[in-house]
Amino acid sequence: MKAIYEVSGLAAGALLFGGVCLLRSEYERDCLSVETYTIRSPKIKGRGKTFVFLSDLHDHEFGRNNIRLIEAVRRVKPDAVLVGGDMMVAKGVGKLETALELLCTLAKEFPVVCGNGNHESRMKRETHIYGTKYLEYRGALRKAGVVYLADSHINFGEDFAFYGLDIPERVYRSGKDRFACGYMDRALGRPMPERFCILLAHSPFYFGEYASWGADLALAGHFHGGTIRIPVLGGLMTPQYQFFFPWCGGLYDARKELTDAGQAGCLMLVSRGLGTHSINIRFNNKPHVAVIRAKGL
């Protein structure tokens, strides 16, 4: 009888703990963590630039029409808003309204530059499910003045160049395929050595390729911060079920992270994302608004 009571007590404790964790997760999913990263380079002249980096919204709303997220961006007063992809959920849904409302509103006040994530790539590939939704999304953004980079680039000011790498959707599915030799050169050309080159490349998995190509700063997302973040150990799990993957959220330096650093100066900033899908859990992992202060030496 005593053993039954002990088991019942353990079960009740586990249920209570699980309930507390779920409540905490629901609270965190509606929070915003605005975090600033200062990056310096001899390529950057004058006063430098400030950018806001957003990724992985997945149709989430922070207040009606994302007003809290918009206000967070307004307070920063960025020179441009950079968007890393996965702004909608393309898993048999493909709603565009939330992403378009946010990005078109921001484009009225700031230059906005968008790259593709795996959900945009899925809409483009699976036309039997999504029809022309990808073209509608891209067209609506361009009409609103958003610069849409899919295997293309633009110059920004005197010192910067933005590149958007359209990672093949098959690469996301396996999590193991590597880019073929010379793939990034063929997709984007060579980076301009005189400019500070910022690469929008949704998956952090290919940090080595981004560094070898010559990015000064790669901006990625995709891993949602590892879903559950554990102190010291980092993010628990990626969408490809890689556990404690080293680059789930934060700023990383190729010189410290990679055996072959390629271009020694390459940094990668990985957004923990803004929303969730499928596994709708965040724990110790608040939605992430990244502010980049890019300055000269």
Taking only the tens place, the pLDDT of each residue in 5-61 is 555 666 666 555 455 556 667 768 899 999 999 999 999 988 999 999 999 999 999
Phi and psi at 123, nearest 5°, equal -60, -40
User: By the 8 A CB rule, do 112 and 103 touch?
Assistant: yes
In this structure, which amino acid lies at residue 276? T
Quote the pLDDT of residue 94: 82
Quote the pLDDT of residue 1: 58
Quote the pLDDT of residue 9: 63
Sign of the C-alpha dihedral computed for residues 26, 29, 35 and 40 taken in this order: positive
What H or E segment, with its residue span, contains residue 50? strand 49-54
Quote the pLDDT of residue 111: 98
Q: Cβ contacts of residue 75 below 8 Å, gap of 6+? A: 34
User: By the 8 A CB rule, do 251 and 267 touch?
Assistant: yes
pLDDT lower than 70: segments of the chain: 1-24, 27, 173-177, 260-264
- pTM metric for this prediction: 0.91
Instruction: Give the number of residues written for the chain.
Output: 297
**All domains of the chain, ordered by start, with CATH?**
32-295 (3.60.21)
What H or E segment, with its residue span, contains residue 142? helix 133-143
Quote the pLDDT of residue 260: 66
Phi and psi at 24, nearest 5°, equal -65, -40
User: By the 8 A CB rule, do 60 and 29 touch?
Assistant: yes
Query: Interhelix angle for 133-143 vs 118-125, to 10°?
Result: 120
